A = this chain, B = another copy of it.
């Protein structure tokens, strides 16, 4: 399609990169990535998310342990995006307002959204410069531990980790299901038989996993769905308890 420009070419070529060369990311490149982060859209202009850049190698190892992914410790750049209502709460306090509404869950979700938008903007910029990236949702395997490790104050919370570096691998692109299963018009629409709908995709994923690692065939997409759902971790599913511990007011009504 003639609409495909360099930006979109980068976006369509996205793959997760987990192995990086030893090359450091130059300072001016890192700063440019932060500039892109700074220019990302932010809910009602509040800029209520922040980044913790991890440069300490022992800390990297501790985070890698939470993630259960040893390669995390080897990422040339590692950053954790966080919900941050702390900064604006202090600003309001300094102006003489107690602003307990800073602790409301809609603020939390605004910050959480800001953090994700910023992360993706930085990922696209990094990939456009030939860098590789890996998202680390696995920091939430133990969000309480991450709060401790990063000394996160009240009204902050970890959202997502991100590793960046120069790629030292050339993995295949992971197939995705068709968008007709994911884009609906005016209302949600269900399918009568999902396994039927994803039959080809299931096959495609099976082949992908077989080729990726013949020693460790992971089966089809639907096999993976079941496998993932069977894994349950109370430290993960109890995330709201940690969010409350960080000072947010859940505002749950008795059910």
User: Which of chain B's residues has its CB closest to A241's CB?
Assistant: B253
Say yes or no: A5-B129 contact (C-beta < 8 A), given A41-B135, A120-B120.
yes
The interface residues of chain B lying within 8 Å CB-to-CB of A140 are 106, 109
List chain A positions with a Cβ less than 8 A from chain B: 1, 3-8, 10-14, 16, 28-29, 32, 34-47, 49-56, 59, 82, 84, 86-92, 94-95, 97, 99, 101-102, 104-106, 109-110, 112-113, 116-117, 119-121, 123-125, 128-129, 133, 135, 137, 140, 150-153, 156, 159-160, 173-174, 176-177, 179, 181-188, 190-191, 193-195, 198, 221-222, 224-226, 228-233, 236-241, 244, 249-253, 255
How far, in angstroms, from A54 to B229 measured CA to CA in the complex? 31
* Docked complex Cα distance between A172 and B8 (Å): 25
Copies in the complex: 2
A selection of 12 A-B contacts at a CB cut-off of 8 Å is A8-B129, A11-B39, A46-B228, A47-B182, A88-B229, A91-B198, A97-B226, A101-B229, A101-B237, A106-B236, A120-B124, A240-B252
User: Does A151 lie within 8 Å of B50, measured CB to CB?
Assistant: no
CB-contact partner of A177 in B3, B47, B239, under 8 A? B47
Neighbouring B residues of A10 by C-beta, 8 Å: 7
Note all chain B residues with C-beta closer than 8 A to A226. Answer: 91-92, 95, 97, 99
